[in-house]
């Protein structure tokens, strides 16, 4: 199995995206009161854009950024994460979800030649050590909240992209 830094950016994003999708599934099952349907809908649109990008199409990273940074909207993406209901129990899934989306957004911006990232994204360069560390920690992170069979499925997906 190849080390994460030895595989393509697309494969790294695909691995990350598998974790993002399973985490989003988990959060949607946890928050069924309907208050966050708008946020989950936006997250699903972003996931769809990720699949579009992974299939070789261009995606406007700035549009994704605007969808995430919807502080003015009740129950938007970041409002969901910042809300007091996202207690310690949901801290790790929230981090996996948001970091995965930011990682995808960052790669979209890099592919389009963007050099000036918003300050809360990255300052123009994601250090490889940090990228490797975060990608390598995804599996351990999800074992805190996802069922073992889902974690095993994710391990197989990761092995596929690392082979």
63 burial type by CB count under 10 A (0-12 exposed, 13-18 middle, 19+ buried): middle
How many helices (H) and strands (E) are present in the chain, helices listed first? 7, 0
Domain boundaries, the chain: 4-162
pTM of this prediction?
0.89
- pLDDT value at residue 10: 94
Could you state, in chain order, the average pLDDT of each consecutive group of 10 residues for the chain (163 residues)? 90 96 94 83 92 93 80 60 69 89 87 71 70 91 96 96 93
- CA angle, 148 then 141 then 54, to 5°: 90
- pLDDT value at residue 23: 95
- CA angle, 162 then 141 then 75, to 5°: 110
Q: Select from 23, 78, 77, 20 the least CA-distant residue to 51.
A: 20
Are the C-beta atoms of residues 97 and 24 closer than 8 Å to each other?
yes
- pLDDT value at residue 96: 92
| CA atoms of 51 and 121, how far apart (whole Å) | 21
């Amino acid at each position: 199995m190849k080390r994460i830094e030895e595989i393509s950016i697309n494969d790294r994003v695909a691995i990350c995206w598998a974790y993002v999708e399973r985490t989003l599934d988990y959060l949607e099952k946890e928050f069924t009161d309907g208050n966050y349907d708008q946020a989950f809908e936006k997250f699903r649109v972003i996931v769809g854009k990720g699949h579009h990008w992974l299939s070789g199409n261009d995606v406007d990273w700035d549009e994704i950024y605007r969808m995430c940074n919807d502080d003015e909207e009740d129950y938007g993406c970041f409002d969901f994460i910042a809300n007091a209901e996202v207690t310690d129990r949901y801290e790790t899934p929230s981090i996996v979800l948001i970091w995965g989306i930011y990682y995808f957004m960052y790669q979209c911006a890099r592919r389009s030649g963007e050099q000036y990232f918003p300050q809360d994204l990255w300052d123009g360069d994601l250090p490889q050590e940090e990228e490797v560390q975060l990608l390598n920690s995804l599996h351990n992170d999800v074992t805190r909240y996802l069922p073992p069979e889902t974690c095993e499925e994710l391990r197989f997906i990761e092995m596929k992209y690392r082979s």
